[in-house]
Structure 1
Amino acid sequence: MGILTEREGDPVAVENADGRSRFILVCEHASRLMPERLGTLGLSQDALESHIAWDPGALAVARVMAKSLDATLIHQRFSRLAYDCNRPPESPSAMPATSEIYPVPGNAALTDAARMERAEALYFPFRDRIAALLRQRIVEGRAPILVTIHSFTPIYFGEPRPVEVGILHDTDSRLADLMLSAAERTSLYDARRNEPYGPEDGVTHTLKMHGLENGLLNVMIEVRNDLIKDENSQGVMADYLTGLLLESVPLTSKP
């Protein structure tokens, strides 16, 4: 018996599967929904609604971007606390026993078998769906451009974060470089390279696995979540990020 019931369905959602653009948008932390069989992991409702369980606003922004770009969007339907799909199974933070200031009792002292059960239910289907779509686009002659969408809390461990938009990359900075150059031409948001996280924090797993290993243009976008609290602000941010991407891609050579 897996951790997902038949009623809960597929852990992976794909929207605009036939999108015509080269962009593939990925949202690993789109949902705060917890698999029924995991209960609350011992957390309060407030904790389960907070940033530790998901990336608030990220999916809403990604959906507007997908529509504007005619891009395919892939997102995980369950909480990052059940399994963080931007981490490999061997990473302790894939199923964190503590997230920021919150102990997560249901993730403490997990056996290897329990960890693998979650990976098989949530991580591998997500990983494989992205890989299959990228392979399909490559065969079709449309070299994909991988863009992952995240949000972050404005206060972390009690410290404020002034950065508003993070443009993150691993060893391939081609697309990030161009987006940051485009961001310098507008004063709408404070955009910075590899903030509030960077590769040293282990946040570029999806980029490395699907972007770097395939030689594809790739970037991770982090948006401070107090800037995308409602439909209007989400639309403004989506338009800004879409603009950065469209300004950048025509200037790049084909990967």
Structure 2
Amino acid sequence: MQDPSDDAPFTYLPGNEAGGLLIIADHASNRVPPPYGDLGLPRAQFERHIAYDIGTEWLVHRLAAFTGAPALLTRFSRLLIDANRGEDDPTLVMRLSDGAIVPGNAGVDAEERQRRIECFHRPYHRAISEQIDRMLATGVAPVILSIHSFTPAWKGVARPWDVAILWDRDDRMVAPALAAFRARGFVVGDNQPYDGALKNDTLYHHGTMRGLAHLLIEVRQDHIGNQDGANHWAKTIFEVVTPLAARPEMRKAVFYGSRAGGPGM
């Protein structure tokens, strides 16, 4: 697929397409491609969680190396357009994010919104769909593993969780993953600090609607803010997820419908 040195909207890490696992990262990058410049924001704002999920890019690269699984990571900031939102979501292009006004988004009209969808959002999701198709063609249904991160505190209140599992209806991977992380002594959020029931988000579209087992893992950002921490968590997630993804019940298409609600922060 795309060379990560070019202006492609995503990075593709090739892997074993018959291995039964696909890794994705919707908010891996704080990059704003030309011609959008800095969206009118000072550089410091791009080091915050409003621009990307801190620590996830390195974590996913290491996790892909451990598992041998293919991976897809965005190469555009969520401030430009949020890959984990449906195309019709009003929060797809944020004008205000956690107190930061985004000048470059203030004048976004329907035409510009559609341009960003077609140049960034849609190619990433098309690549996920095509990768799933290739994996299904091997005769092995893939489990989709989505990696995110969350801030250690929100509005001045510390968050106690080390890691969180977000989910909608399909709990095939969820219940055993919660148990496995807790058995290792971690404080684990079950749909906390965010609710995973967001209609038309990435896993709704590629997991729920296709009947594929899936799991969204959020790691607290102070755990993965450097490469040593990200390496540790990549190994931990590998040890938790790999045996679960190999279970026979993960290989069947199951359609649950949705209990979709609103987005978290």
Same fold (TM > 0.5): yes
Alpha-carbon shift at residue 157 of structure 1 (Å): 2.3
- Give, in angstroms, the shift of residue 250 of structure 1: 3.8
Q: Which has the higher helix share?
A: 1
Deviation by residue 1:73-112 (Cα, 9 ceiling, x = unmatched): 1011111111111111221221111111211121124110
SS at match of 2:130: helix
**1:194 and 2:191 are equivalent in the alignment:** yes
What are the ranges of 5 or more consecutive residues in structure 2 without an aligned counterpart?
253-265
The residue identity in structure 1 corresponding to 2:101 is P
What is the DSSP-based 3-state SS (H/G/I as helix, E as strand, rest coil) of the residue aligned with 2:164? strand
Alpha-carbon distance between aligned partners in 2 of 1:183 and 1:12, rounded to the nearest angstrom: 30
The residue identity in structure 1 corresponding to 2:164 is G
Which residue in 2 is equivalent to 1:133? 131
Residues 188-241 of structure 1: per-residue CA shift (max 9 Å, x gap):
x212211111135x3871111001111111011101110012221111111111
Matched, 1:61 2:59: yes
Of 6, 10, 13, the match for 1:12: 10
C-alpha contact (below 8 Å) 1:43/1:105 kept by paired residues: yes
Amino acid at match of 2:232: V
CA distance in 1, matches of 2:143, 2:137: 14
The structural deviation recorded for 1:16 is: 2.0
Hey, what's the Cα distance between the residues in 2 that align with 1:206 and 1:18? 22
Structure 2 residue matching 1:143: 3-state secondary structure: coil
What secondary structure sits across from 1:89 in the alignment?
A: coil
- AA in 2 matched with 1:105: P
Alignment-mate amino acid for residue 110 of structure 1: V
Decide whether the 8 Å contact of 2:23 with 2:146 is kept in 1: yes
Seen in structure 2, the aligned counterparts of structure 1 residues 109 and 47 have a Cα distance that, compared at 3 Å, is: same
For 2:183 and 2:33, locate their aligned partners in 1 and report how far apart those are by CA, in whole Å.
Answer: 44
Farther off after superposition, 245-254 or 117-126: 245-254
Alignment of 1:80-119 (within 5 A): 80-119=78-117
Aligned CA distance change for structure 1 residues 220 and 203 (closer, same or farther; 3 Å):
farther
The residue type equivalent to 1:194 in the other structure is N
In structure 2, C-alpha distance between the alignment counterparts of 1:154 and 1:244, rounded to whole Å: 22
Tell me which residue corresponds to 1:147.
145
Counterpart contact for 2:165–2:215, Cα < 8 Å: yes
1:228 and 2:221 matched? no
- AA in 1 matched with 2:196: P
TM-score by length of 1: 0.91
Amino acid at match of 1:27: A
Higher alpha-carbon deviation: 216-225 or 202-211? 202-211
In structure 1, list runs of 5 or more residues that go unmatched. Answer: 1-6
Structure 1 residue ranges, 4+ long, deviating more than 6 angstroms after superposition: none
**Which residue identity lines up with residue 167 of structure 1 in the other structure?**
I
Alpha-carbon deviation of 1:37? 1.1
Farther off after superposition, 163-172 or 203-212: 203-212
Take 1:203 and 1:220, find their aligned partners in 2: how far apart are those partners? Answer: 14
Tell me the residue number matched to 1:241. 237
Counterpart-to-counterpart distance in 2, 1:218 and 1:125: 21
Deviation at 1:247, TM superposition (A): 3.5
Q: Is the 8 A contact 2:29 2:53 kept in 1?
A: yes
* Alpha-carbon shift at residue 10 of structure 1 (Å): 1.3
Q: Is the 8 A contact 1:179 1:247 kept in 2?
A: no
Q: Is the 8 A contact 1:23 1:145 kept in 2?
A: yes
Q: Would the aligned equivalents of 1:87 and 1:94 in 2 still touch at CA under 8 Å?
A: yes
In structure 2, the CA distance between the partners of 1:203 and 1:239, relative to structure 1 (3 Å rule), is: farther
| Residue aligning to 1:182 | 180
Give the TM-score, by structure 2 length.
Answer: 0.88
Query: Could you tell me the percent identity over the aligned residues?
Result: 30
